[in-house]
């Protein structure tokens, strides 16, 4: 249909205008880009941009910080205490901290892990605050046969042991929404409604959700409506192309400019983290293109 063609054309134009880095070698090609073009690529500032290091494992954290700053990214996601000095050296923020969790499967949904988690998060929360950060990731873990009610009950029981400390330090525990269809079989917090209900039961501004757009498109779609309806429970967003979690250009099914406009329309002042795994040889070009696709 003409609308879809226009959308594809729009994204192609964005990508063409921003993917000037085409030589082999990510850093070498990036450094060759002239300063005049960098100045012309100034962002609008309506979205705060961050990126997840695991998608760019070829780069050291120092290198990722350097490249990110030039692209207009101001935050590096999923970093813990050992990484924060590097971020601080480069003037980069840590918008979604990690390091207190056990893993993605053993989370607050199982009481057997509560003591371990409470100890770890009790140590981490003051550290997050001391370094000037706010968000700390957490997980429901696997369902393991539990129905929704049992999962909510267990999560509330475990998290309520931490909420007073989090409130004291103005830290927000952010439970990530993950898909249980493809990537994280049996994960319990796999729908925004489930996470929002947990937030309602906890009743604290120190618990919110990490809304991963890739995961939620797989599980339920209706991304813009869900962002609009549940934005008060969301502290952070992640991107990713569907299917495959690759580039967020017209090679996948979502139109990210519209999604970003919906996020901005809620008054969101947090960060949108690029967490796609580039297929293109020039990964930095893909990252730069994604930032401009999301620059609404």
What pLDDT score was predicted for residue 17?
47
134-157: per-residue pLDDT in tens?
999 999 999 999 999 999 999 999
**Domains of the chain: total:** 1
Q: Is residue 21 part of a domain?
A: no
Burial string for 245-258 (b: 16+ CB within 10 Å, else e) reads: bbbbbbebebbbbe
Answer whether residue 26 is part of any domain. Answer: no
Residue 41: pLDDT band (50, 70, 90) is: confident
Residues 6+ apart with CB under 8 A from 295: 43, 44, 46, 47, 72, 260
**Structural domain span for residue 227:** 49-293
Grouping H, G, I as helix, E, B as strand and the rest as coil, residue 209 is strand
* The pLDDT of residue 223 is above 60: yes
List, for residues 71-115, the tens digit of each pLDDT value.
Answer: 999 999 999 999 999 999 999 999 999 999 999 999 999 999 999
**pLDDT tier for residue 27 given thresholds of 50, 70 and 90:** low
Q: How confident is the model at residue 30 (pLDDT cuts 50, 70, 90)?
A: low
Residue 12 included in any domain: no
Q: Which tops the pLDDT comparison, 11 or 125?
A: 125
Mean pLDDT, rounded, of the chain: 91
Q: Where are the beta strands (DSSP E) in the chain?
A: 48-51, 75-76, 135-138, 172-176, 207-212, 234-238, 271-274
- Inside any domain, residue 233: yes
- pLDDT band, residue 55 (cuts 50/70/90): very high
Domain contains 136: yes
CATH of the domain at 140: 3.20.20.150
Q: Is 208 in contact with 271 (CB distance < 8 Å)?
A: no
**100 in a domain, yes or no?**
yes
265-274 pLDDT, tens digit each: 999 999 999 9
CA 290 and chain centroid, separation = 14
Is 37 among the domain residues?
A: no
In a domain, residue 128? The reply is: yes
Q: Quick: pLDDT tens for 151-199.
A: 999 999 999 999 999 999 999 999 999 999 999 999 999 999 999 999 9
pLDDT band, residue 29 (cuts 50/70/90) = low
pLDDT of res. 294: 98
What is residue 28's predicted lDDT score, i.e. its pLDDT? 52
């Amino acid at each position: 249909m003409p609308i879809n063609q226009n959308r594809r054309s729009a994204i192609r134009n964005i990508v063409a205008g921003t993917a000037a880095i085409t030589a082999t070698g990510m850093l070498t090609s990036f450094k060759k880009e002239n300063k005049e073009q960098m100045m012309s690529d100034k962002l609008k500032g309506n979205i705060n941009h961050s990126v997840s290091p695991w998608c760019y494992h070829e780069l050291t954290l120092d290198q990722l910080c350097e490249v990110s700053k030039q692209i207009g990214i101001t935050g590096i996601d999923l970093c813990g205490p050992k990484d924060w000095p590097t971020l601080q050296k480069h003037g980069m923020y840590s918008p979604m901290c990690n390091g207190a969790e056990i893993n993605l499967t053993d989370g607050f949904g199982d009481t057997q892990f509560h003591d371990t988690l409470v100890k770890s998060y009790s140590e981490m929360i003051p550290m997050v605050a001391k370094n000037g950060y706010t968000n700390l990731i957490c997980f429901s873990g696997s369902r393991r046969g539990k129905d929704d009610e049992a999962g909510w009950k267990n999560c509330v029981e475990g998290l309520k042991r931490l909420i007073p400390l989090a409130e004291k330090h103005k830290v927000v525990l952010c439970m990530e929404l993950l898909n249980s269809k493809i990537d994280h079989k049996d994960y319990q917090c796999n729908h925004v409604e489930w996470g929002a209900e947990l937030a309602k039961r906890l009743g604290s501004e120190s618990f919110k959700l990490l809304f991963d757009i890739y995961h939620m498109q797989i599980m339920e779609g209706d991304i813009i409506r869900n962002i609009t309806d549940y934005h008060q429970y969301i502290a952070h967003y992640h991107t990713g192309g569907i299917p495959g979690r690759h580039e967020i250009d017209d090679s996948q099914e979502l139109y990210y400019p519209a999604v970003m406009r919906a996020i901005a329309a809620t008054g969101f002042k947090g960060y949108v983290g690029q967490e796609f795994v580039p297929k293109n040889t020039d990964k930095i070009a893909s990252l730069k293109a994604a930032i401009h696709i999301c620059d609404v």
